[in-house]
Amino acid sequence: MRVALAEDGALFREGLLMLLQAAGHEVVAVAAGGDELISLLATTPADVAILDIRMPPEPDGGLITAERLRGKYPEMGLLFLSHYAESHYLMRILEIGTDSIGYRLKERVGSVEVLSDTLGRIADGEIVIEPVLAKRLVERPRGQKKDEIAALSEREVDVLRLMAEGRSNNGIASQLVVTPKAIEKNIANIFAKLNLHTDTSEHHRRVLAVLTYLRSQRDGS
């Protein structure tokens, strides 16, 4: 796999570079910050970019860089590494994309097997979330969340599932062979039933709805 890497901590960057090479990956770009990585990637294609969340450009260079990369190369997988596993950052990451994306703790990708498995799943289009964070999300007030999903109609669950796949309203409409207007109505109902209040932006509510769906999926499995 062709991997690009941006991390401002020299010790960690060197360690990760050696581990990636030991795992047999081709490291096509190594940078100490997001801007540098983007200019390197202008001439070199990569399958997955590994980004430290907190690096230049400050403060959250990894997130800014990821937005740019997703805009320029929608096919490129993104793996965020951080010292913290926080749902705040997961939300922001899922706002960037809900496919081919991952969020893991720095010390938890420290083996060839885990690193390759994480990169492979991202390249295959999956969302990879640090298990300790996924567990925390799943173990939250379960009964309430389950009820919320159960309150949705069959059509609304279909819409939510397609939202979780990262589709736009128009994309969902064509998939379900209805008008975009009908989808907007479905989504408004989903927000209301999931108690996503109007004090947050439409986009943020969309992400929260997707997260609720993902949590309910994990509950089921």
Partner 1 sequence: MRLEPAARADREGAPCPALDEPVAHPGPADRPFPTNSNAAPAARDVHAARRHRELQQWHARLRLERQLHDGAALRISALALQLGLFQHRVPPGEPELRDAVGTLQDELATALQELRDVAAKIYPPLLDQAGLGPALRNLVERLDAPVRVTAGPERFGAAAEGAVYFALADALGVDAGALPDEVRVTRESDHLVVVVSGAGVGLGELIRDRAFPLGGSVTGPDVRAAEPHGVGTIVVRIPCE
Alpha helices in 102-167 (DSSP H): 112-123, 131-138, 142-150, 154-164
Looking at 2, 23, 151, 155, which residue binds partner 1 (CB under 8 A)? 23
Q: Binding partner 1 by CB under 8 A: which of 43, 71, 141, 177?
A: 141
The H or E element that residue 14 is part of is: helix 10-22
**Nearest Cα to Cα of residue 87 among 125, 139, 52:** 139
Binding-site member from 12, 67, 99, 121 for partner 1 (CB under 8 A): 12
- Number of residues this chain uses to bind partner 1 (CB under 8 A): 31
- Closer to partner 1 by CB, 117 or 184: give it: 117
What are the DSSP calls for 98-110, one per residue?
Answer: SSSEEEEEGGGG-
Integer Rg of the chain from CA: 18
Residue 11 is given by DSSP the state H
Closest contact distance (angstroms) between CB of 109 and partner 1 is 8
Q: Least distance (Å) from partner 1 to the CB of residue 186?
A: 26
Among 72, 135, 136, 181, binds partner 1 (CB under 8 A): 136
Residues 6+ apart with CB under 8 A from 148: 193, 194, 195, 212
Binding mask 166-185 for partner 1 (x = CB under 8 A): --------------------
Cis-peptide into 57, omega within 30 deg: yes
Q: Choose which of 2, 68, 108, 218 interacts with partner 1 (CB under 8 A).
A: 108
Is residue 73 a contact point for partner 1 (CB under 8 A)?
A: no
Residues forming contacts to partner 1 in the complex (CB under 8 A) are: 9, 11-12, 14-16, 18-19, 22-23, 54, 59-60, 83-84, 86-88, 105-112, 115, 136, 140-141, 199
